[in-house]
Amino acid sequence: MSGSDAKTIEYSLIDDIACIQLTRPSKRNALSDQMMQELGRAAEKASREAKAAIIYGSGKHFCAGLDLAEHVEKTALEGIESSRNWHDVFSRIQRGNIPYVSALHGGVVGGGLELACVTHIRVAAKNTYFALPEGARGIFVGGSGSVNISRILGVARMTDLMLTGRVLTSEEAERFGLVAYIEEDEQLFDKALALAKVAANNPPLSNYAILNAIPRICDSGHDEGLFFESIMASLTQTTDEAKSRLLEFLDKKSKPLNIPKGD
């Protein structure tokens, strides 16, 4: 870390939601080594004091990916170490103890898309675009994209993006399951915050199971998955918190489902 650079991540709390902003707009929030360190620290802080978090960018774009300037001079070993460091920081987000919502606007490119894909819910503004230009740059994904983006988009679509430099619009990204919501630009932050607040209201053990058990079950065999599921189901439903919430429903005191109204 250069130490002389300005802060590249801003961290704040709104109630019990950690707000993590990428604040390097002059470089389109390109992820430098310093930024990864600060992001890792922010994720650790959030895991200690928040019940959910949002990640969003400053300036015109969410994130232009890996800081290419820093990587021109790296040796093969330094490249591996850097990639493993990304994996470490991203794991704190993806498989930590609190849900993350990302608010995506402008360009979500390369490592920026990898970052978005370790968050649990992705909300995009209408103008957002998504790309993986690694092939054209002569490099490869290194921030867990080959594991995470391939699972979300499917191998064929990810391969298309990487080979051809195809850029997806928000609508395409939603159709392909890459984003869960599209919002007007002005409402992007509020929507992400509102989703984070809803998720923060779930009991921590349920959230932990949702974030940590589902991806592991998906990675395991059918029988192992079902067995693991039964353990998690039993573990969550025997807590006092679950019991009181179930009784609340049975006593007709719980909030009804937010059922969308038809046209």
Q: Which residues belong to the active site?
A: 114, 134
Return the bridge partners of 108, or none: 63, 130
Give the tokens for residue 119: 């968050």
Shortest spacing between CB 148 and ligand 1HE, in angstroms: 12
Residue number, 68 or 242, with CB nearest to ligand 1HE: 68
Binder of ligand 1HE out of 133, 135, 203, 225 (CB under 6 A): 133
Q: How many residues bind ligand 1HE (CB under 6 A)?
A: 24
Check binding of 46 to ligand 1HE (CB under 6 A).
Answer: no
Binder of ligand 1HE out of 7, 49, 60, 88 (CB under 6 A): 60
Do the Cβ atoms of 178 and 122 come closer than 8 Å?
yes
Nearest CA to 25 among 41, 46, 9? 9
Shortest spacing between CB 63 and ligand 1HE, in angstroms: 8
SS3 content of the chain, % helix, strand, coil (to 5): 50, 15, 30
Check binding of 66 to ligand 1HE (CB under 6 A).
Answer: yes
- Dihedral angle at the C-alpha atoms of 222, 227, 231, 232, nearest 10 degrees? 0
Binder of ligand 1HE out of 1, 69, 226, 247 (CB under 6 A): 69
Give the tokens for residue 191: 């929507």
Q: Distance between CA 94 and CA 114 in Å, rounded? A: 11
Check binding of 67 to ligand 1HE (CB under 6 A).
Answer: yes
> Is 180 in a helix, a strand, or coil?
coil
Shortest spacing between CB 51 and ligand 1HE, in angstroms: 29
Largest CA distance in the chain: 65
Site string for ligand 1HE, 2-41 (x = CB under 6 A): -------------------------xx-x-----------
Instruction: Label the pairing between strands 100-104 and 107-109.
Output: unpaired
Shortest spacing between CB 86 and ligand 1HE, in angstroms: 5
Site for ligand 1HE in 81-100 (CB under 6 A): 83, 86
Site for ligand 1HE in 104-123 (CB under 6 A): 107, 109-111
Q: Distance between CA 159 and CA 132 in Å, rounded? A: 9
Give the tokens for residue 204: 């921590």
Contact residues for ligand 1HE, defined by CB under 6 A = 27-28, 30, 60-61, 64-69, 83, 86, 107, 109-111, 133-134, 137, 139, 141-143
